[in-house]
Amino acid sequence: MTKLLEWLFGVSFVLVAWAVVSFDLLDLSLPQTYREVAWPMPLYLLVSFGCYSLATVGYRVATFNDCEEAAKELQEQIKEAKEDLRKKGLKM
């Protein structure tokens, strides 16, 4: 199954469950509180996911390692390499 299909199945399942509870489609006579809680769920979940995404990406950008040492080391090794290659006869 492709990821797209997995998502469609997952979303359909959640929406059907939500509709059954919110609109009492199966005449389950659930307590009023269930319906009150279920009704705004899709919106809550979307907004929560949006916040989670922003927080996660923000955190990851803020903690993205800056490899200063690696850059310095590379610059030094480049000098060393050029010198050594020159000695070995490389004409750049």
Partner 1 sequence: MLGDKYSVLLPTYNERENLPLIVWLLVKYFGESGYNYEIIVIDDGSPDGTLEIAEQLQKIYGEDKILLRPREKKLGLGTAYIHGIKHATGNFIFIMDADLSHHPKFIPEFIEKQKEGNYDLVSGTRYQGNGGVYGWDLRRKLISRGANFLTQVLLRPGASDLTGSFRLYKKKVLESLVERCVSKGYVFQMEMIVRARQLNYTIGEVPISFVDRVYGESKLGGNEIVSFVKGLLTLFATT
Q: Which residues bind partner 1 (CB under 8 A)?
A: 2-4, 53, 56-57, 60-61, 64-68, 70-71, 74-75, 77-78, 81-82, 84-85, 88-92
Residues 6 or more apart in contact with residue 15 via CB below 8 angstroms: 42
Nearer to partner 1 by Cβ, of 28 and 72: the residue is 72
Alpha carbon distance 13, 23 (integer Å): 15
Q: Nearest approach, Cβ of 16 to partner 1 (angstroms)?
A: 22
Q: Nearest approach, Cβ of 17 to partner 1 (angstroms)?
A: 21
